[in-house]
Structure formats: structure tokens, C-alpha cells
Structure 1
Amino acid sequence: MECNMGSSILCKSCLFSSILLLLVAESHSQGIVSRATYYKSSDGFGTPTGACGYGEYGRKINGGRVTGVSKLYRNGAGCGACYQVKCKVPLYCSEDGTTVVVTDHGEGAHIADFVLSQNAFAEMALPDMASKLFSYGVIGVEYNRIPCLYDADLLLKVHETSKYPAYLAVLLLFLPGADDITAFQLWQEESNEWKPMHRAYGAVYDTTNPPLGALTLRFLVTVSADYNYWVQLDNVLPTDWEAGLTYNTGISS
């Protein structure tokens, strides 16, 4: 299936149809048992040097409630995913736990799946019990993947490593839903075909010698092993695109 920004209603339907299905599924889930630890920072937020390539966005998104993951990183396909994580320490843990966004790759001691920011780790605790959780270092948790919901439009960022006009690297910010982005392609007007982009690392896709002029891209949303679809972004980058800038896709979260 391919969504074209020329029909925005269809695109939004494509992106969000799976959200409702996942919400129903998660409500009946017992959660997956694992472990979590945390990393320190001066303000409790994330790190701008995370392996997903998000930079400052990866430090502050979701109020700094972010996480590095090990096996859930999946060579970068797990970047941007949201999880509800609940700790399992008697007397100290809240019922709701915390909701985190994956921004980094990392593995804590004792095979911890989640390496949470301090803000996220503390939010799992009951009031005035965060210090008790921190004293454990590594704790048992239960987690579920949940849809990401943002009060912002989906943005396409030209990564800072891009060099106009010979090298282009991009990534998506404020990606809604609970599905993976598994491919990016760039439209080649001269040859009338799509050129695959390479996953440089994390959430960053790149290509050399992109066409001159406004650029049309598309990304592949993978819902399951049997179902995926393309979302097309017509002329999403202007002729004079710049490294470090973000461009609105017109898709609302």
C-alpha cells in the first residue's frame, strides 16, 4: 500500500489505523518481564549523543523520559518506539509506571533491556520513593509497546552531517503510532524511479548525490511480517534544503 500526501486523509488513515488495534491488544496484555537500570545526567533528561541520531530532540522528547534499549534496538528499527514500563519492587512502585521513548542503544548490568533516563526511572516510583528505587540500581520491570502520541506534526529533519548538495541524511521526529520505519527512498525524476536510501545508523537514512530541486521521499511503515505500506512525502524538502533544519510533513500526530 502507498500513501500519497496528495490525499492527506488517506495518509492519516494509513498511519493511525494500526494504533486502535494495538491499543486493544495492549489492554489485554500481561506485559513482558525484563530488567531496567538508569544513567545519570545533570538534569535527569536523556543524552544528545544517543545511537538513534536524534541529538537534542533525543534528550528532551517526552519530558526527558527516554531510554536506551538492547535487544529492542533492532539495528535502529526500534528507534522512536514507545513503551510503558512498570517496576516490580514491592512497596516502591506506582501502578502506572512510566512511558518512555527509545532514543539510544545500550545494555545495562544483569542483562537489563532498558537503560532509562533518571526522569523515567524516578517516575516508576510511588511518591517519595524514587530514592529507594535508585538504590537498587537494577530492578525487575514489566513492559509493553504502546502507540506514541504527540501534540505535534511529523517532522523530517535533515541531519547535521548532511552536506548540501552532495550528501543528504534524514530522520523522522514525532513519529506517531506503534509501528517501525524500515526503509526510506528518494524519488529520481530523471530516471523515473525510486532510489533506496541507506540506514546510516539508528533512525538516520542517507544517500549521496541527491537530485537538485525540491525532493520527494517516502518511508516504509512495517506493521507486521505480513503487512507494510509506504507513506509518500511530496516535495517535502525545498530546493535549498539545509543541514540541521526540520521540515513539516503535513501529517498530524
Structure 2
Amino acid sequence: MASKTLSFSWCLVICLLALLGRSSGGGRFKPSAWSLAHATFYGDDSASETMGGACGYGNLFNNGYGTDTAALSTTLFNDGYACGTCYQIKCYQSTACYKDVSFTTVTATNLCPPNWAEDSNNGGWCNPPRAHFDMSKPAFEKIAEWKVGIIPVLYRRVPCIRSGGLRFQFQGNAYWLLVYVMNVGGGGDIASMWVKGSGTGWISMSHNWGASYQAFATLGGQSLSFKVTSYTTKQTIVAYNVAPSNWNAGLTYQSNVNFH
């Protein structure tokens, strides 16, 4: 009986250590307070012009983001660290607002660059220090009449609800690995990232641009694991054995862990 109890205790300790190894620090992301901004839209009803973008998510339909997306002004974009963040947006004090719609939720997938040739209050909507959302047309049409062009809005950061684990899209080669991280839950954003080959220790990856991180290391022929820290919550999770030893650039590999 004592032997069985001891075995159970060791099992409990090992399980707890495994959980701690997969997630540490920080906490769950909570909605922020409401703030005032403005919103416009770009593209047409198909949202085809929103594909790609500064975050590097590529085809937003294939990668799970759909048409509920927005480009952020420089002030909100934060040099790409805001890629993947989620916002509730509601039309505010405009005759174009739909009265029966409280808000819509969008993911940041692009940058709305400054237009220094125009005044910030007359065409240069994304000029610093303005907080501005250039939404896909389908997303904009969920809260207001599109013909008005620009509306005042209230917005707040909210947790990103994602199905499945983090997705890692590979570019580069055996000596330079560039990874786009997608389908990020919780805060939706990434502060730092590491990669570990089956024959290496943890290697720090540098922020390239948007949602991409790079490592100048010889990783070809090794299975790869990743450690990712959220920019907002500071929580760190570890995705073990995400890619097999015969991984290839151009492919996307999905883990079984995510932020919440």
C-alpha cells in the first residue's frame, strides 16, 4: 500500500513539473477599458485587398482570420508587436451607426501607414499620434453604413479566442529560419521567441517584422520545438516537437498548445 502511495505521489510531482514546463509566468489576458478612436475601411466586399499585410499572415482565409480584420495606425501597431491582437469595436455617436449592433471583434493583421501629405483630421487618419482602425469592408459593414467613410468608434482590447494550437509557418533554409507565428490566443501577441533543435539548446530568435521571428543557426535535419512569450501577459508556453526533422520552408506546422 505504501509503495502504491509513493508511486502516485511521484506521478503527481512529475505531472505538475510537466505542466510548469509548458506554461509559466504571467496570466490570462483581461479586456481593457474602452477608448475613443476612429475607423475607416479599405478594399471591397471580398476583402481580397486585406490579404498579406504587414503582419505576414498571408492568405487570411486559409490561416483562420477571415474578414474580421483591421489595419492599425502606427500608434497602435507598435512596430509589429500588436500583430494578432484582438479588439472589440463599436460605432459611436454617428448617424451611420447600426442601432441594433453593439460591437464587432477584429484581429490586427496589417499596418495603416501615415499619410503625411494630408492633415490628421482630413485624410491622414493613421498619422501619429492618432489611434485608428482601417477595417476590412465586411467588418466595417457590421457596425455602420459604409458610405459614410469614417466613423468615431469606441474600442477595447479583448482576449483572442482561437481554436487549436499555435501555428508556425516556416521560411528560410537550413541555416536561417524565419517563422511566422499565427493563431495566437490570449493576448494574441508575441514579445519573444526561442527555437530548440533536437541537437541544440534553446536559441533566442530576433524579431524580424510583424509576426515573424528569425534564427541564424544550423537547424536543418533536426526536429524543432519553440518557446514563446506573450507581449501582453508575459506568459511563456513551450511547444515541443512542432516540426519533424525533415521540415521544409513554405510549410506550416501546428502545435498542441496556445495562450488562453
Q: Is the structural similarity TM-score above 0.5?
A: yes
Query: Which residue does the alignment assign to 1:136?
Result: 148
TM-superposed CA distance for 1:223, in Å, is 3.2
Q: Using the alignment, how far apart are the partners of 1:49 and 1:179 within structure 2?
A: 18
TM-superposed CA distance for 1:199, in Å, is 1.3
Residues 1:207 and 2:215 aligned together: yes
Aligned pairs (5 A) from 1:74-223: 74-88=78-92, 89-90=94-95, 92-94=97-99, 95-107=101-113, 109-112=123-126, 113-125=132-144, 133-159=145-171, 162-163=172-173, 165-178=174-187, 180-187=189-196, 193-212=201-220, 213-223=222-232
TM-superposed CA distance for 1:230, in Å, is 2.5
TM-superposed CA distance for 1:40, in Å, is 1.3
Larger radius of gyration: 2
Percent identity over paired residues? 26
Query: Which residue does the alignment assign to 1:56?
Result: 59
Q: Using the alignment, how far apart are the partners of 1:154 and 1:182 within structure 2?
A: 15
Rate the CA distance shift 1:58–1:34 in 2: closer, same or farther, 3 A: farther
Rate the CA distance shift 1:136–1:156 in 2: closer, same or farther, 3 A: same
Whichever structure has more helix as a proportion of its residues is 1
Q: Using the alignment, how far apart are the partners of 1:96 and 1:75 within structure 2?
A: 30
Answer whether contact 2:82 2:108 (CA < 8 A) is retained: yes
Give the superposed CA RMSD. 2.9
Whichever structure has more strand as a proportion of its residues is 1
Gaps spanning 5+ residues in structure 2: where?
Answer: 1-14, 115-122, 127-131
TM-score, structure 1 length as denominator? 0.78
Paired residues in the alignment total 227
Rate the CA distance shift 1:85–1:10 in 2: closer, same or farther, 3 A: farther
Say which SS state the counterpart of residue 60 (structure 2) adopts.
helix
Query: Residue type matched to 2:140 in 1?
Result: F
Deviations, residues 181-228 of structure 1 (Å, cap 9, x unaligned):
1111223676x643221211100111223334112221122335xxx2
Answer whether contact 1:156 1:247 (CA < 8 A) is retained: yes
